[in-house]
Chain A
């Protein structure tokens, strides 16, 4: 709840909004941001129901007021060392667009950090690391108070890999 209040006060304090607002969260010491308009809610970690025969990073599904919502562990998705879930572990529920359809998904992150205003023009493209790091999911890099925030392209991220096959799977039915 503290987190939510923090964000609420953050929102209230900003007053007039220039550019876009991003909710940032921590993951293995780095700060990542997602478009705040896509954030449906933030909730603590609760037990999930695992789905058989899906990759490790899809933790399972939860019941979000009657809707079945899949939960993706972002650490595992990025191939980072998995961390024990603790009291600070949060699930950010996001609205993900795919063509004209929207889906609701949750991502597990270490902790929620802050809300920033970022001018669109100050968003720098991520440098190309070639095959070393896949930067496809990165919408851009922003600098806030001398720290780097990685702005994620969640539509791309949560529609790729194992998550992407959903439509084709239905077609094959």
Chain B
């Protein structure tokens, strides 16, 4: 029987990566000097499973490396080692190394061994610099299991008769011991039964092993970890005079105590065993709780579900239309529709809506580490606050928003927050704050990245924009318009914000990505008080709440989220500038009127404003009134891309299929406002 090891390997790697994430998260929470026992336990457990798994699958590099990490962690756990910032950083780099090694193991490529070696050397150094440096001299006797390097150990190992049945191999144990140092085994043949009575699967031998060399107690324990409970085991240090002489003076007291109390070894073993049992219990408990809080779903499954929902919506709107003016001759179509609906519902049920949207914490998780690293590099003190991590977001949107978010957070850390000196001078607290916040608003998710740094320099951005010919000297621009220059391609304000790079580098890419998702980004900034970038994204890319409108003979869909209100035109409120640019006075604002039939080159019912309806919309931070002939129904529509088989069309963001099977186009509000502005500009320049 052959077992597909590859499958288990994939699971192991996945689990290990999760373990690493946990380690990273906990490490970042950890404050130097105060190690919470539970936190350390968490890290230790993760490291331990990685080590075990990697050894099983023959990734000896990983298991060796993780072993060192684990040893250190064990000392921390036993309270023998204080958690310094240095140690935390070292652990973090180890996490990176293990992650690299795992990736290497997964893809089968060579990894950067130099870096691994470097980190390992660091770990070894720390291990070597010995717990003693930080361990108080008056440690209690229990701590002996952590104390490294007696000059050797005497191990009495008596397997219970059924030990071999649990799959343990004595030979392997001895090989491992032999790897550690000079091993002198002595076998006890007392228990050996006569040949006739011998059960081949029963262990009947016992051993007394003398192990020479400076070996840590944990290492020895580790060898016997798997047979714990299946044997009688006593491990006692060799009370070697030579070893005592070799030891540094400060170690002496410990060592003397150890060697002078060999009697204690036996109860110690017991104690460890019970400890182990307790720990395993904890482990089980923890695992079950973490399984509940996270799901892992293949994107193909999610896509399949979205497709199903799409079909359902189409069927629903078809039935809706059928019901509006139903007569008996349509009963066949109704039956068909209902059958379709039933099929859809069943399929949906089968696929189960258990596959939910993912919380945004998936995207946020990488930031604590990133900010931590950047702080070290830039010598800044920054606290990263996150809120609304449980806000849920479509997975595809999440994947595409990751990079823009990284960019914005980097910017906030790099250029937003000032150095501690500057902050103190400005009368702010030394530690800057970067706040990530996410929440739902209408059909959108809003993500805010705010910092309490220096804020954007409005004047310098304006100066740069004028220099680049994006604005004119006399222009009276609002803050929003000025900050919008940041998103122009290649708009670098390097000298404005810092010497290395400035806000605006790559910001055009950020904006483009967000726009491609159907979202928008806004900037707010107050000098000296920091700035806030707000990303507004649709929750999902697949379905949209739409208002159907009629222009001439055609039906268009306006996304409901962009509609503010709809009203009848009062001609007294219409003003025309220079005869062409029409404005509508709505309360205190003047809205530009966009005649949709004009923009789309259609023939309207009537060209008169009073006969139509004005739909007030907002897009790209601007409001406008769209003139349509009639408002039809509101319904959910499935967004279909025009670009798949055609190309991007100005003013149109996509298409959808209505209940009667015809195609209707979805109006891109931002695009149509831009389009009409450009049209006006063209007309103006033609006139001039």
Contacts and interface: CB of A to CB of B under 8 A. Distances in A.
A173 B648 contact: yes
A104 to B, nearest CB: 5
Nearest to A103: B645
A61 interface: yes
B512 A104 contact: no
Contacts of A62: 663
A173 B665 contact: no
Contacts of B512: 173
B655 A61 contact: yes
Contact of A67 (B600, B640, B650, B661): B640
Contacts of B466: none
* A-B interface, 7 closest residue pairs, ranked by CB to CB distance from nearest: A166-B647, A52-B600, A49-B663, A70-B646, A103-B645, A63-B657, A169-B648
Given A69-B645, A170-B647, A51 B601 contact: no
B644 A103 contact: yes
Contact of B655 (A68, A103, A104, A167): A68
B121 interface: no
Contacts of A53: 600-601, 649-651
A142 interface: no
Contacts of A83: none
B643 A166 contact: yes
A67 B645 contact: yes
Contacts of A173: 512, 515-516, 648
A12 B642 CA distance: 36
A54 B642 CA distance: 13
A8 interface: no
Given A53-B651, A163-B647, A68 B641 contact: yes
B602 interface: yes
Given A49-B663, A67-B645, A105-B646, 4 more contacts: A49-B665, A52-B665, A68-B655, A165-B647
A71 B644 CA distance: 14
B599 interface: yes
A52 B599 contact: yes
A50 interface: yes
Contacts of A70: 645-646
Interface in B658-687: 661-665
Contact of A68 (B310, B515, B600, B663): B663
B663 A105 contact: no
B64 interface: no
Which of B515, B641, B657: most chain A CB closer than 10 A?
A: B657
A61 B601 CA distance: 16
A47 interface: yes
A61 B314 CA distance: 18
Interface in A54-76: 54, 60-63, 66-70
B645 A54 contact: no
20 contacts: A49-B554, A49-B662, A49-B664, A51-B646, A52-B599, A53-B651, A54-B649, A61-B642, A61-B646, A61-B663, A66-B311, A66-B314, A67-B644, A68-B640, A68-B657, A68-B663, A165-B647, A166-B643, A166-B648, A167-B647
B652 interface: yes
A127 to B, nearest CB: 33
Interface string A22-63: 000000000000000000000000011111111000001111
Interface string B592-617: 00000001111000000000000000
Interface in A135-173: 163, 165-167, 169-170, 173
Interface of A: 47-54, 60-63, 66-70, 103-105, 163, 165-167, 169-170, 173
Contacts of B599: 52
Nearest to B516: A173
Contacts of A166: 643, 646-648
Contacts of A52: 599-602, 649, 651-652, 665
Given A67-B640, A68-B640, A173-B516, A51 B665 contact: yes
A70 B649 CA distance: 12
Contacts of B516: 173
B627 to A, nearest CB: 15
Contacts, number: 81
Interface in B297-330: 310-311, 314
A169 B671 CA distance: 14
Contact of B645 (A48, A105, A169): A105
Contacts of B655: 49, 61, 68
Contact of A47 (B311, B602, B650, B662): B662
Nearest to A163: B647
Nearest to B314: A66
Contacts of A63: 657, 661-663
B641 to A, nearest CB: 7
B652 A51 contact: yes
Contacts of A163: 646-647
A173 to B, nearest CB: 7
Nearest to B675: A53
Contacts of B662: 47, 49, 63
A133 B652 CA distance: 35
Contacts of A167: 647
Contacts of B515: 173
B649 A68 contact: no
A66 B313 CA distance: 12
A116 B681 CA distance: 54
A60 B650 CA distance: 15
Nearest to B597: A52
Nearest to A48: B663
Most A CB contacts (10 A, CB to CB) among B311, B648, B650 go to B648
Contacts of A60: 663
B643 A170 contact: yes
Given A50-B554, A52-B599, A169 B642 contact: no
A68 B646 contact: yes
Interface string B32-62: 0000000000000000000000000000000
Given A51-B665, A52-B599, A61-B655, A68 B647 contact: no
B632 to A, nearest CB: 15
Contacts of A54: 649
Interface in B512-532: 512, 515-516
Nearest to A49: B663
A95 B641 CA distance: 17
Contacts of B602: 52
Contacts of B554: 49-50
Contacts of B646: 51, 61, 68, 70, 103, 105, 163, 166
Contacts of B645: 67-70, 103-105
B654 to A, nearest CB: 8
A14 B602 CA distance: 48
A109 B648 CA distance: 25
Nearest to A96: B645
B109 to A, nearest CB: 26
Nearest to B311: A66
A66 B641 CA distance: 11
A166 B650 CA distance: 12
A12 to B, nearest CB: 31
Interface string B620-653: 0000000000000000000011111111111110
A105 B645 CA distance: 7
Contacts of B314: 66
A14 to B, nearest CB: 31
B553 to A, nearest CB: 9
Interface in B391-426: none
A170 B663 contact: no
Nearest to B647: A166
Contacts of B661: 63
Nearest to A69: B645
B647 A66 contact: no
B675 to A, nearest CB: 8
